Structure 1
């Protein structure tokens, strides 16, 4: 059934501005850019331990119109320090969605709305680290 994330898609009215913002946040350029009429309509970054894909899609291509900003789903990306990451995001222009909250031992979440209306979740997740360590040691997962 569901086997793992392939691509997380965020929408933006201005893909070029979103590309610049996420390039500054991630410290890398997207590996793929698809232009339409000379402007980027889709950009994609590969990030993290598993090279998950974060795509930024022109809002005009949203299947059923763009959902209301911050509506419903939060995808959390593991970070090693939620508090430091959370402090950096508003400095880059994001708006606080939820300040850091400890959800239990080894699990802290926080989220922001990026300047384009997407909710970006960050999380320290001990389970993520345990699985990564078991894969790297050859024990499966």
Structure 2
């Protein structure tokens, strides 16, 4: 039924700024598309997954209405520190959820909560 995650969409007040921040952090190109209304949808591709930033809409797509996506990492502490140094804020964890498996959540400068998971 499900194969793999292809796209993760988050809602942001400034989609292009959000995508550019992630693009610079991860050294990947940013792509944008301007819709008929002039709204910008922007995205980066990370590990074969499109991470998209759609304009926030309080009625249909409120900020914070997105799921938390966990990215697999080799070293939770090292990646967490890099994200904090780049402007993220602590949200939750790090927590050991089972032996050999840890998670942490951070909030990027644009309000999106992301998760990291690894040994």
TM-score greater than 0.5 by the shorter chain: yes
Cα RMSD, aligned residues only: 2.5
Partner of 1:84: 78
Q: Distance in 1 between matches of 2:103 and 2:85?
A: 18
**By percentage of residues, which structure has more helix?**
1
Partner of 1:102: 96
Other structure's SS at 2:41 match: strand
Q: Which structure's relative contact order is higher, taking Cα pairs within 8 Å and 6+ residues apart?
A: 2
Q: TM-score, normalization: structure 1? A: 0.72
Structure number, greater radius of gyration: 1
Displacement of 1:79 after TM fit? Answer: 0.9
Unpaired runs of 5+ in structure 1?
126-141
TM-aligned CA distance change 1:4 to 1:28, over 3 Å: same
Contact 2:105 2:114 in 1 (8 A): yes
Unpaired runs of 5+ in structure 2?
none
Q: Distance in 1 between matches of 2:66 and 2:16?
A: 25
Q: TM-score, normalization: structure 2? A: 0.84
| Count of residue pairs brought into register by the alignment | 119
